[in-house]
Structure 1
Amino acid sequence: MSTKKRISLDLGPLRKYRDFRLLYSAMTVTSIGSFITYVTIPYQVTKMTGDPLLVGLIGIVELVPLIFMAFVGGALADYVDRRILVFGGEVLQLCLTGLLLANALLGEPQLWLLYVIAGLAAAVDGLQRPALEGLTPRLVEAAEIPAASALTSLRHQVASLGGPTIAGLLIAAFGTGRGLGWVYAIDVATFAVSLGLLAMMKAVPPPEKADRPSLKSVATGLRYAVRRPELLGTYLVDINAMAFGMPQALYPFFADRLGGPAVLGLLYAAPSAGSMLATLTSGWTLRIHRHGLAVILAAGSWGVGIVVFGLSNALWLALFGLVLAGAADMISGVFRSTIWNQTIPDHLRGRLAGIELLSYSIGPLLGGVRSGGMAKIVGVGGSVVWGGALCIAGTVALAAMLPKFVAYDGRDGLKRKEAEEAERAALVASSAG
C-alpha cells in the first residue's frame, strides 16, 4: 500500500451508502449556514454592548435548555425514526433563524431577543443532535464506522471553515444593523436544501422492543455510561479541554486588536483549517487501536495550541496556534466518535448520543463564560493563556485518574458491542416467543 493511500481520507462510506450520502450532504449545507449564524450572534452582541461578559453570557443562556433537551432528544432517538427527528429539528431551526433575520431588520435590534433565540436554538439542537449522531451506525457497516467518523469530521470542518469565512466577509461588506439581515438570510436559504435532501432518505425504524421515553430510560443510559470507563473518559477529557481552552467568545476582541471584522472570520476559520488538514490525512487513524491514549494526547496538544494563540501579538502567530489547536481537536473527535459508534449497542445509541452532545457542547459553553469572566480580571490574552495551561494540567490529571481509559483498545470495544447486541436480540426473541 502506498504512503498516499495509508494517510489519505477514506471515501468508501459516501460511495457505498446512499442514505449516508444524502444525510452527509444535507448536514454539510445546513452546517455552513448555522456556522454563519454562530459567528454573527456574538458579533452582534459585541457591537451592541462592547462587554465580553455579555458575549460569554450567551453560553449560559444556551446551557440550561441544552442539558434538558439532550436527555429528551436522546430518549426519543431510541424510540422513534431518527430521520424524522432530524427533519423536525431543521424545520424549527429554520423558524428561529427567520426571527434573527427579522430582528436584524428592525431599526433597533432587541438584545434580549438574541438571548432568547440562542436558548431556543440550543434546545432544538439538544432534541435533534442525538438522532443525528445515532444515524451513522444505522446507515453504514460497523467496519466502515472509523471512516464515516473521519468523513463526519471533514463535514464539520468544511462548515466551520466556510461558514465563519463567509460570515466575516458578509459582515465586512454589509456592516452592522440592518446589514446583518443579509447574513442571517444565507442561513435561512441553506435549510431549504437540507430539508429537500433529508426528505429523500428512507425511514430508519427504531430497534425492536425500544424503551419508551421516560426518566427510567434516561437513567438506564446514564448508568451505562458511568459504568464504561472508556465512555466516561471521552466525556470528561473533552469537557476539560473545552471548558478551560475554548477561546471563541474572545475572538471579536482579538479581531479588533489584529485587524477588524475580516480578521474575525479568519480566527473562526483557523481551527477548522487545522482540522481539515488533519482530516484529509486521517488515513493513519484507522490503524490506531489505543483510542483512549490518542484522545489524551490530542487534548493536551489542543491546550498547547491555545497557549500559543493567547501569547500572540501578530496575526500569523494567532492563526498558527488556532490551526494547531484545530488539528488536535479533530484527532480527538475522530477517536471519541469511533469509541462511541463502535462500542455502544443500537438500543442505547440515542440516549448515549444525548450524553455525548452534552459532553462536547457544555465544555465550549462553559469556556465562553470562563474566558469572558477571566478576561475581566487578567485581560483577553491572559484569559486565553491561563485557559490553555489549565487544559493541559487537567488532561494530565484525568489520564492519571482514568488508567482504563488510557489503556482502552478499540478492538475490544467492538467485540463487546457485538456481544451486547446478540444478548439483547436473544432476549427480544425469547419475549416474543
Structure 2
Amino acid sequence: MGALIDIGPLRTAPVFRRLWIGGTLSGFGSQMTGVAVMYQVWQQTHSTAWTGAVGLAQALPIVAFGLFAGALVDRTERRRLYLITRVGAAVCSALLAVQGFLGHLPVPGVLLLLAVQACFGAAAGPAARTFLPRLLPAGDLAAGLALNHISFQAAMLIGPALGGLVLAWLGVGGCYLVDALTFGLAIYGAIGLPAMPSAGGAPGIRAVGEGLRFIAGHAAVRAALLTDLAATLLAMPISLFPLINAERFGGDPRTLGLFLSAIAVGGVTASVLSGTFTRLGRPGPVMFAGAAVWGVALAALGLVPNPWLGLGCLVVAGAADTVAVVSRATVVQLHTPSPLLGRVAAAEQIVGSAGPDLGNLRAGLVAGAFSGTAALVSGGVLCVAAVALIRRSLPQAGSPNGRA
C-alpha cells in the first residue's frame, strides 16, 4: 500500500480538492485542443515545420513574458490574477471554436490565437504553482504535486482519445468548444481559494534579476531546471506524431490520439505508484534517472518498426516523465522561499512549457531535413548525454535531495 499514490491531501484539504477537480476536468479540454490544433495545421499544410511552429507560437510568449509575469505574481493578489488569466484563456478557446465551425483561419491566424492564449498562461501557470505551499503542509507537498500530475496524465489519457472521436464527429470546432467550456470548471474550482496577498519585493527588472540570481546561485534548483530543459528541448516528440501516424497507421485521425494516450498510460501508472518515490525524501537521484529513461525510450521509439511496440515505448516514456516531473517540482518547491516562489515558478514554467514547445519545433525541423527516425534517435541520445553531464557537474554539497 505504501507504493500507491498518497490521496491524503484530497481528504484533509477541501479547498485543494475543489481546485484539483476543476483543474483536472479543464485538462481534458486542453488535451483535446492539442489534438485538434495539430490535426488542423497538418491538414492545411502537411508540413512538420508548421506543426512544429504550433509549439513556437505557444513558447514565445512564455519565454518573452514569463519572468515578468512571475514578478507580477509575487507583487499582486495571486488568486485574483489567476482568475483573470483563466477567463482570458477561455475566450481564446471560444474564438478557436468559432473559426473551427465557421471556416478555418489560415494557419498564421490560428497560431496568433494560440500565442495570445499563451500570454495568459504565462501568468496563470506561476500563480497556480504558488498555491500548494499555502494550501498544504510541507509534509504533504510531494503528495499534492503527485496528485496534480496524475490529473494531468489522466487528462492526457482520456482527452486525446476523446479528441480523436470528437474530431471525426464534430471537427476541430467541437474540440475547441469543449476546451472553452471546461475552462469554466477550472474557474469555478479556483473561486473558493483563500485570498493570497502580495509577497512584496522589488518591482520590474529588479524583481526578475533577484529571481535569476537565486536560480543561478542555488545548485539544487539550477540542476532541476537544467535537467528538465535537457529532456524537453532535446527529446520532445509530439510534433512528430502526425508524421508517425501517417507512416505507421495510415493517417487515421482516430489513432492520432493514441500517441498522447500511450504517454498518459505510463504517466498514470507511475502516478498511481508514486508512493514508491515520493516517500523516499531524496528526489534528486530519482529526477536524474527519470529524465535519462525518457531519452532512452524516445530513441527506442525511432528504432522499433512495429507501430504497437512504438506505442509501448511511449508508455515507458510517460512513466519516466512523471517520475522526473514530480521529483523536479518537489526539489524546486522545497528549496524556494515564498517571496521568490512566483519568479522561480515562472522560470520553471518557461522550462516546463516553452522547453517542450521549442523541442517540438526542433524535432519538426530535424524530421523535415532528414527523417522522423533521425529526429527521435538523435534527441533521445542527446538527452541522456546532457542529463549525465548535469549530474556529473553538480557539487555533492548541492545535491538536490529535497532537503533545504
- TM superposition score normalised by structure 1: 0.90
C-alpha contact 1:89 1:125 (8 A) present in aligned 2: yes
Among all aligned residue pairs of Structure 1 and Structure 2, give the percentage whose two residues are the same amino acid.
31
Which residue among 205, 216, 220 is the counterpart of 2:210? 220
SS class of match (2:5): coil
Which residue among 350, 353, 363 is the counterpart of 2:342? 350
Q: Map residues 367-406 of structure 1 onto 2, 5 A cutoff.
A: 367-404=359-396
- Quote the Cα distance in structure 1 between the aligned partners of 2:397 and 2:261: 31
- Quote the Cα distance in structure 2 between the aligned partners of 1:149 and 1:141: 12
2:287 maps to 295
Q: What is the Cα deviation at residue 279 of structure 1?
A: 0.5
Q: What is the Cα deviation at residue 205 of structure 1?
A: 2.2
SS class of match (1:322): helix
Q: 1:107 to 1:282 in 2, by over 3 A?
A: closer
C-alpha contact 2:58 2:354 (8 A) present in aligned 1: no
Q: What is the Cα deviation at residue 231 of structure 1?
A: 0.4
1:428 maps to none
**AA aligned opposite 1:49:** T
Which residue among 23, 27, 44 is the counterpart of 1:48? 44
Which residue among 319, 322, 344 is the counterpart of 1:330? 322
Q: What is the Cα deviation at residue 212 of structure 1?
A: 4.8
Q: 1:82 to 1:324 in 2, by over 3 A?
A: same
Q: Map residues 204-283 of structure 1 onto 2, 5 A cutoff.
A: 204-207=196-199, 210-259=200-249, 260-283=252-275
1:74 maps to 70
Q: What is the Cα deviation at residue 201 of structure 1?
A: 2.6
2:89 maps to 93
Q: Map residues 118-129 of structure 1 onto 2, 5 A cutoff.
A: 118-129=114-125
**Range with greater deviation from structure 2 (35-44 or 90-99):** 35-44
C-alpha contact 2:294 2:321 (8 A) present in aligned 1: yes
- Quote the Cα distance in structure 2 between the aligned partners of 1:157 and 1:394: 25
- Quote the Cα distance in structure 1 between the aligned partners of 2:104 and 2:347: 39
2:112 maps to 116
Q: Unpaired segments of 5 or more residues in structure 2?
A: none
Q: What is the Cα deviation at residue 173 of structure 1?
A: 2.9
- Quote the Cα distance in structure 1 between the aligned partners of 2:107 and 2:401: 49
- Quote the Cα distance in structure 2 between the aligned partners of 1:405 and 1:308: 35
> Aligned-residue CA RMSD in angstroms?
1.5
CA deviations over 1:177-219 (Å, ceiling 9, x no partner): xx22112111111122222222233222233xx1153110111
Which residue among 53, 59, 65 is the counterpart of 1:63? 59
2:103 maps to 107
Q: 1:296 to 1:335 in 2, by over 3 A?
A: same
1:307 maps to 299
- Quote the Cα distance in structure 1 between the aligned partners of 2:226 and 2:3: 29
C-alpha contact 2:37 2:172 (8 A) present in aligned 1: no
Q: How many residues align?
A: 402
Q: Unpaired segments of 5 or more residues in structure 1?
A: 414-433
- Quote the Cα distance in structure 2 between the aligned partners of 1:337 and 1:382: 31
**AA aligned opposite 1:95:** V
C-alpha contact 1:233 1:405 (8 A) present in aligned 2: no
C-alpha contact 1:229 1:404 (8 A) present in aligned 2: no
Q: Map residues 131-210 of structure 1 onto 2, 5 A cutoff.
A: 131-174=127-170, 179-207=171-199, 210=200
1:418 maps to none
CA deviations over 1:132-186 (Å, ceiling 9, x no partner): 0011111111111011111111111111212111111211334xxxx22112111
- Quote the Cα distance in structure 1 between the aligned partners of 2:275 and 2:142: 10
Q: What is the Cα deviation at residue 408 of structure 1?
A: 3.1
- Quote the Cα distance in structure 1 between the aligned partners of 2:397 and 2:172: 45
Q: What is the Cα deviation at residue 258 of structure 1?
A: 2.4
Q: What is the Cα deviation at residue 60 of structure 1?
A: 2.1
Q: What is the Cα deviation at residue 246 of structure 1?
A: 0.5
The structure whose Rg is larger is: 1
CA deviations over 1:374-427 (Å, ceiling 9, x no partner): 11222112211111111111111222222448833223x1xxxxxxxxxxxxxx
C-alpha contact 1:308 1:317 (8 A) present in aligned 2: no
C-alpha contact 1:8 1:283 (8 A) present in aligned 2: yes
Which residue among 295, 299, 312 is the counterpart of 1:320? 312
The reply on whether 1:14 has 2:6 as its aligned counterpart is no
The reply on whether 1:23 has 2:19 as its aligned counterpart is yes
- Quote the Cα distance in structure 1 between the aligned partners of 2:203 and 2:185: 31
- Quote the Cα distance in structure 2 between the aligned partners of 1:67 and 1:400: 28
2:356 maps to 364
Q: 1:108 to 1:226 in 2, by over 3 A?
A: closer
- TM superposition score normalised by structure 2: 0.96
C-alpha contact 2:219 2:398 (8 A) present in aligned 1: no
